[in-house]
């Protein structure tokens, strides 16, 4: 359980602090006027402010029930992960790290949805991968913006896939 807290809590805090900085430093994209963009690596990586009420890749963005639906899914998912953890469903270090990353990511985005006056997830990492614009012309070359919580969830998914194909050899905490 220590691994769970030592990993989940700092990543949750990093997610929230980074989103707070974005909200304070960048204008609200719903308001008229110039939008701010920090070009970190020219033609490859920017920091922007994007609001997402939907899920990954902006799917269902703008749906009036999205926050309720994804909020409920988030609460059920975090509860299930904690219960599975207590029952020993994550037998090795990789699966425990994955579960910790999932909880921090889900909690980070869930917290955004629940904040009074917010009701959306703040995304700010904007990448322009080579050839992405050719594969998805309507994207303007921009991969859908994401945040620290989204990164945790994606890394966790990859680790769970790896864990599923491994024989547990070590018992972690």
> Which residue numbers are catalytic?
123, 150
* 136/58 Cα distance (integer angstroms): 14
On whether the CB atoms of residues 19 and 112 are closer than 8 A, the answer is yes
| C-beta contacts of 168-173 below 8 A and 24+ residues apart | 168/91, 168/92, 169/92, 170/92, 170/93, 171/91, 171/92, 172/3, 172/92, 172/93, 172/96, 173/1, 173/2, 173/3, 173/96
The structure tokens listed for 63 are 């749906």
- Is there a contact between 24 and 108 (Cβ–Cβ < 8 Å)? no
Other C-beta atoms within 10 Å of 11: how many? 22
């Amino acid at each position: 359980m220590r691994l769970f807290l030592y990993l989940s809590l700092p990543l949750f805090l990093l997610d929230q602090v980074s989103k707070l900085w974005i909200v304070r430093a960048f204008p609200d994209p719903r308001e008229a006027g110039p939008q701010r963009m920090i070009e970190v690596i020219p033609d490859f990586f920017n920091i922007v402010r994007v609001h997402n009420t939907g899920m990954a890749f902006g799917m269902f963005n703008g749906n009036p029930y999205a926050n309720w639906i994804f909020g409920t899914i988030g609460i059920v998912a975090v509860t299930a992960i904690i219960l599975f953890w207590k029952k020993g469903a994550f037998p090795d270090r990789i699966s425990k790290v994955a579960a910790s990353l999932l909880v921090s990511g889900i909690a980070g985005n869930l917290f955004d949805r629940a904040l009074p006056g917010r009701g959306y997830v703040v995304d700010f990492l904007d990448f322009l991968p080579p050839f992405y614009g050719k594969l998805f012309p309507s994207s303007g070359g921009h991969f859908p913006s994401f945040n620290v919580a989204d990164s945790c969830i994606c890394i966790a998914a990859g680790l769970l896939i790896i864990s599923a194909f491994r024989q547990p050899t070590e018992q972690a905490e």
